[in-house]
């Protein structure tokens, strides 16, 4: 059973702080990793994708991937109240005929307090 684990939260940070969201996955064959942001009642919005070990930065967002530890994280710098949402970690197994399927974590609810 391929699993993606996230802390459900809620994670509460003050405005301007760094929010750190973590995700672990069980399948070592996983190749593609994504972070989605989902506001209440809305659809998931892709905010970061990462495919190789290391850091990837896009504006205030940094994704970090460590395949040896089967760990992917998302850092949000200078957190804003508008960042308050559920963050979904999604992993794609790129082999074995299952590369169509995204396996989602249950999501972490982030609240940024003004």
Partner 1 sequence: DTEVTQTPKHLVMGMTNKKSLKCEQHMGHRAMYWYKQKAKKPPELMFVYSYEKLSINESVPSRFSPECPNSSLLNLHLHALQPEDSALYLCASSQQFSYEQYFGPGTRLTVT
Q: Which of 108, 89, 107, 109 minimizes the C-alpha distance to 30? A: 89
Shortest gap between Cβ of 112 and partner 1 (angstroms)?
A: 20
Shortest gap between Cβ of 100 and partner 1 (angstroms)?
A: 4
Give the residues lining the site for partner 1 (CB under 8 A): 31-32, 34, 36, 42-46, 49, 88, 90, 92, 94, 99-102, 104-107
Shortest gap between Cβ of 10 and partner 1 (angstroms)?
A: 12
- Whichever of 85 and 105 has its CB closer to partner 1, that residue is 105
Q: What does the DSSP assignment read for 26-94?
A: S-TTEEEEEEEEE-TTS--EEEEEE-SSEEEEETTEEEEEETTTTEEEEEESS--GGG-EEEEEEEEE-
Dihedral sign (CA 11, 30, 91, 16): positive
- Whichever of 42 and 77 has its CB closer to partner 1, that residue is 42
- Whichever of 90 and 112 has its CB closer to partner 1, that residue is 90
- Whichever of 53 and 95 has its CB closer to partner 1, that residue is 95
């Amino acid at each position: 059973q391929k699993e993606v684990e996230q802390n459900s939260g809620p994670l509460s940070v003050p405005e301007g702080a760094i929010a750190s969201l973590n995700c672990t996955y069980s399948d070592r064959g996983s190749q593609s990793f994504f972070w989605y942001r989902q506001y209440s009642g809305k659809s998931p919005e892709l905010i970061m994708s990462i495919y190789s070990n290391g850091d990837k930065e896009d504006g205030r967002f940094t994704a970090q991937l460590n395949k040896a530890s089967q760990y992917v994280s998302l850092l949000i710098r200078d957190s804003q109240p508008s960042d308050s949402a559920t963050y979904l970690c999604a992993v794609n197994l790129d082999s074995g005929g299952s590369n169509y399927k995204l396996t989602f974590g249950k999501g972490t609810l982030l609240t940024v307090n003004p």
